[in-house]
Every structure is written in structure tokens, then in C-alpha cells.
Structure 1
Amino acid sequence: MVAAVRVHKVGGPEVLTYEDVDVPAPGPGQIRIKQAACGINFIDTYFRQGMYPSPVGLPFIAGNEGSGTVTEVGPDVTGFKVGDRIAYVVPLGAYAAERLLPAARALKVPDGVDLAEAGGMMLKGMTVCYLLRRTFKVAKGNTILIHAAAGGVGQIACQWAHHLGATVIGTVGTKEKGELAKANGCDHVVYYQEEDFVARVKEITGGALCDVVYDGVGKTTFPASLDCIRPLGLFVSFGSASGQIDAFNINILQAKGSLFATRPTLNHYAASRADLEGLANELFEVVRSGAVKIPVQKSYALKDARQAHIDLESRATTGSSILVP
């Protein structure tokens, strides 16, 4: 038996239950890992609340990313051996001291990347990779807006976009978060609680607006985000931290400048093994180069998962946070 955090009924942080579970020997195509870190992400709260349905029903072990060391290899598994350092993003099962994992979704962590950091950066880091390198290919000369620029995804996105040569505008809620965003490559910080972010974007860009807006906030930043985008620009909605965006009349995109809009997910961008490895390798390369740093800014014991979710949903955390078994 090993420690894990399970959800027996959907709801608030109080439904996260710390208990012992059985982990069997790995079956065909599976590996067993001893976990070094379990990443904490907003998507974990969506599964906990029932906003995203659990693919395994109830109860389920929470969490979508982690890292660890391979302890057993199941039949028919090639490419992995006992002792390999790996990291992963999969639907559910991460909040545990040990777990089984489909070998097809495991990624070897290269030398030069800390295993604990890898456990908290795969989902956020690969999300940023597809957002900046696939959904819209950010390049020198682009002007982009990143909402929640001091958050886990925001900090990585600001660094990476700055590295690519873009002008980065970021929204934050507090002066402290503003300093954090600036330290991570954000060129212009907008304090959305004190300022009209649309007016500030127009001022910063001299009326030219942005090529793309990356919005992981959702309800409270829509539809104002569309007013920050130049004609034929792109609105990328990749999260709903403030609640889901209500259905909107698609004609609004025409009225705002023949805009494009998309609601992408990592699952689709990393559906094939080749795509998964491509995103991971780009992430590992930019981290190893030093262009993007993803330090763990808060660690919790596995048993304190409830508090971790409370802190996450109250916006009390910044950057990468992990649970340590």
C-alpha cells in the first residue's frame, strides 16, 4: 500500500482524501515509478470539481503530472529500464507516492534538468510550448498579451516569448506579482484591478494592438480581450481560472476585426508519441539552455493537497508548485 490523494465525490478542496491505495505490478505497456514530485495545476481543480469528467469514474486519484524513477517495467515495454528518470503528463493519478504509468506517455528527463522541477513543469511547460510554437508561432516583432503573467504558465510564457524576441504585455493583480512578471521577461505590466487593461494595451502599442492574446483566465477577461487584438489577430483561450466563458455570438469576431479564436488543449497537440516528444524536447532544450527557468516556488507534503488547492484557487501561489510524497 502507498499513500495517495483520492476524490470520492466531486466538490471543493475538502473532497481531497489522503489515504492508502494498492499499486499492482505493471501490466503490458506499463511502468511503475517511485515519485519525486507531483505537479499542482489548475486543471486538477477542474477534475476535482467535476468540470472535467474523470475518465475512470469515482473514486479517482487526483493530479495530472509528475516525475520519478522507474522501479519496475511491465511486459512488452521497450525504451525504459529500472532507474530511468522520467516525467509525464497524463489524465489523473499523479497525487501518489508510487504509481503505474503507460510507458507510451513517459518522457526521459535529461541530465541538467532537476527531477523535482520536472515534476512541476511538464504540463505548464509543454502548454507554453504549443501555445508559443504551434498555436501561434511567436517571433521577433510580435506583440503579445499574456493574462495572469505571474502565474505558473504566465511566468514560463513571458520568459519564452521574451527569448523569442516578442514584446510581452502581461496582466497581474498585485504590485508583487508585477515585479515577478517583469523579472520573468514581461516588458509591460498592466494591473487589471486598478487599470482598464484594454486602454493600457492601446496606449502601450500606440493603437496597433496585439498579434495574439493568450487567456487562461476566462470569464472575467472576456470579451474585453478581443479589443486588444489587431484585425486578423488571434484569441487563444486555454483556461478558465475565473470561470468558463459563456457562449458567444461568433459574429463578434467579425465586428472586432475578422479575428480568429481557438480553445486548444495539450491533449490534442501531444496526441501522438512524436508530437509529445517534440514538445518535451523543445521544453527541455530551452530549460537546459537557461533561457527559461522554472524553479519550484512552493512545495507541499502530499498529505497537504487540500491546502495546496485552497492556495491555488485563492491566487496565493505563483509559478510552479509541487506535492512531495
Structure 2
Amino acid sequence: MRAVVMNRPGGVEVLQYIQLPDPAPGPGQVRVELAAAGVNFMDVGVRRGMLWKDQSGPATLGVEGAGIVAALGSGVHDFKIGQRVAWVYAPGSYAESAVMPAASLVSIPDGIDDLTAAAVMMQGLTASHFTTDFYPIQIGDVALVHAAAGGLGLLITQIVKARGGKVIGRVSSTQKAAAARDAGADHVIVDKEGDFADEVLRLTDGRGVDVVYDGSGPSTFEGSLKALRRSGTFCWYGPVLGGPGPLDIMSLPKSIKLGYAVFLDHIPTVDALRTKSGRLFDWILKGHLRVRIGAKYSLQDAAKAHSDMESRASTGKLLLIP
């Protein structure tokens, strides 16, 4: 099989498209022939050496995708050969074939194609965590969504709207504003420099927003603090761009609540993974959630996908097609 691997951290030049032996599933594992692999910012973090630091030898990138069950290891009874499945956080997904724990898999329902399933797993479960668990959106809540035209931002926006909230979306260019509005954003702020807080306060008549979803790195931290209402919630996420540095908790303003949200806390068990993935699929089938695929690349063009993601020029979800 062909796969995309790295032997050392670095720029996109470290990604190699190579031939590897076909993998065989062990006990409790499944081998899947991939239809699509999702590209996520955490993959960029892995490539840069910020994540998976204990990995030795060639590492096959990617943790998300969809495909068809090709072989079962001993003890696997939940799936059958030929079944369509999707997964999240199963390393080795940038490949034509991958072996993963059966516990990482969910069944794809009829009516949802493989590309949509591959595109929604990580970002969809993350958006679900942020909006229904970390800060459950209530009717009338106002949310500030950073990177509102990205794959995650578009999903957060739609779930906030479906739960009766309002969205102020921040995007980095006028070209991205239309995508944020199409997802349902009530207001869109175009800003690249982190100068958005005053406009947020103007749009909320000086009150501030109930919640901020901010994965844009240190440059937006102070503005997000300023944009919150009293006792508002700050949902900070995304390790790749770094944190704001050491914080004196007594310096936080307006009695805000600040936390670092990790999607794996939304799906700590197999039952939670399958229940919450099933809810995502149900939202899609009912038309409450639209998954925007921004671009599709051949597997051998993974470096191009990484470059496009890092440039912030892309909108929606990026996929690799073996």
C-alpha cells in the first residue's frame, strides 16, 4: 500500500509518499481500505514536532477518515467485512489501508457518503463538545466564533444557530466572509490583526458575548477577553498555535470562566463515541448540519494540503483521497 510518512519533524518537505507492506489486524483490530482521510491542524502539529514527540521511526500521519472494512482481527464482532465505517483519532490514516482498534470505529448510516463521514468526525465532534458540553448554548446566547470560515468554525456556527443562539463570526479575509454567512453567522468581522473586540462590543450594545470559541493562538487572547460579557465563558482550544503564556488567575477580568477544551473529553468511552457520532449523522440527515468540503487532494499531494491549511487560505474541510 502507499502511505504518507515522516521520519523527522519539519516543513512540508519531510512528508514522503512511499510504499509500505499491507498491514494485518491484530486482536481487537480492523483493517480498513480508505475512501478518504481528513486533514486536521493537529497533523500540522505532528509534522512540526509539537505532538507525538515519543514517536520513533517513520510515522504515518493522519487520525481521521472513512472507508470499508477489509479484514477483522480476532475478537472483533461489532463489524463485518464490506461495512462502511468512519473514525477519529486513529493514527495512520494518511494511507491506502490502515489498521486501527475496532473501538475507534463507527458505522456510517445509509444516506451519508464516505467523504462527508470522513470530513465530519474530528471537527464535528469538536464542535459538538464546544457547543453542547463545554458551554451548552441556550436560546438567545451570543457566541463569538474565530476562524468562522474554517471547517470547525462552520460547524460551530451551525450548531449554535440550531440551538437558538446568535453568532458573530471572525474571518481573516473578505473572501471568507460569504462562507461564514452561508453557515448562518448573524454578523461577520473581517480581521487579521486581532483588532475585533470593539466591534463585538458595538454589535452587542456594550454587553459582550456569552461565549468565545478561540483557537487562533495568542494574538487574539486579549481581544477575546475584552469581547466577553461579565461571567462569560472563554473556550480556548488548539495546541498548534500555542497558548497565551502564564496567567495570573486573579488578573482575569469580569468573573469570566476560562478553560481549555479537548474533544476527546466528549467521547471518553466507546458508547459516547458512537452515540455522539450518531447524533452528528442524524443532524446531517435532517439537514441541520451541512459539511463543507473545501478541497480534495490526492494522497500523494498531502504536502500541498498542509501548505494550504497553514496559509489560512482554505475554507471548509480538507480531504486526502487515496
Tell whether the structures are fold-level matches, with TM greater than 0.5.
yes
SS at match of 2:294: strand
Which of 297, 305, 309 is the equivalent residue of 2:306?
309
Which of 240, 265, 276 is the equivalent residue of 2:262?
265
- Provide the residue aligned with 1:87 in structure 2: 86
Whether the 8 Å CA contact 2:25–2:72 is kept in 1: the answer is yes
- Provide the residue aligned with 2:196 in structure 1: 197
Q: Which runs of 5+ in 1 are unaligned?
A: none
1:269 to partner: Cα distance = 2.0
Q: Which moved more, 1:120-129 or 1:267-276?
A: 267-276
- Provide the residue aligned with 1:133 in structure 2: 132
Aligned-residue CA RMSD in angstroms?
1.4
Matches within 5 A, 1:56-135: 56-135=55-134
1:144 to partner: Cα distance = 0.6
Q: Aligned pair in 2 of structure 1 residues 82, 226: CA closer, same or farther (>3 Å)?
A: same
TM-score normalised to structure 2 length: 0.96
CA distance in 2, matches of 1:141, 1:154: 19
1:31 to partner: Cα distance = 0.6
SS at match of 1:99: strand
CA distance in 2, matches of 1:10, 1:241: 14
Q: Which moved more, 1:241-250 or 1:286-295?
A: 241-250
Q: Which runs of 4+ in 1 moved over 2 A?
A: 53-58, 193-196, 240-245
SS at match of 1:223: helix
| Cα deviation code 1:193-252 (max 9, x no counterpart) | 388311011100001111110001121111221111111111011115644332222222
| Cα deviation code 1:22-69 (max 9, x no counterpart) | 233211100111000000111110111111125543321001100000
TM-score normalised to structure 1 length: 0.96
- Provide the residue aligned with 2:222 in structure 1: 223
CA distance in 2, matches of 1:9, 1:187: 44
Q: Aligned pair in 2 of structure 1 residues 76, 194: CA closer, same or farther (>3 Å)?
A: closer
Q: Aligned pair in 2 of structure 1 residues 232, 168: CA closer, same or farther (>3 Å)?
A: same
CA distance in 1, matches of 2:190, 2:184: 16
1:125 to partner: Cα distance = 0.6
- Provide the residue aligned with 2:271 in structure 1: 274
- Provide the residue aligned with 1:12 in structure 2: 11
What residue identity is the alignment partner of 1:301? S
Whether the 8 Å CA contact 1:220–1:242 is kept in 2: the answer is no
- Provide the residue aligned with 1:147 in structure 2: 146
CA distance in 2, matches of 1:193, 1:122: 28
CA distance in 2, matches of 1:218, 1:30: 37
Matched, 1:300 2:297: yes
| Cα deviation code 1:275-319 (max 9, x no counterpart) | 212221121111111111103221000000001100000012110
Matches within 5 A, 1:149-228: 149-193=148-192, 196-228=195-227
Q: How many residues align?
A: 322
CA distance in 2, matches of 1:203, 1:24: 57
Whether the 8 Å CA contact 2:157–2:183 is kept in 1: the answer is yes
Q: Aligned pair in 2 of structure 1 residues 138, 76: CA closer, same or farther (>3 Å)?
A: same
What residue identity is the alignment partner of 2:283? V
1:113 to partner: Cα distance = 1.0
Whether the 8 Å CA contact 2:125–2:266 is kept in 1: the answer is no
Q: Which runs of 5+ in 2 are unaligned?
A: none
1:182 to partner: Cα distance = 0.4
Whether the 8 Å CA contact 2:29–2:76 is kept in 1: the answer is yes
SS at match of 2:234: strand
What residue identity is the alignment partner of 1:202? L
What residue identity is the alignment partner of 1:263? Y
Counting aligned pairs with the same residue, the percent is 37
Whether the 8 Å CA contact 2:194–2:219 is kept in 1: the answer is no
Whether the 8 Å CA contact 1:86–1:106 is kept in 2: the answer is yes
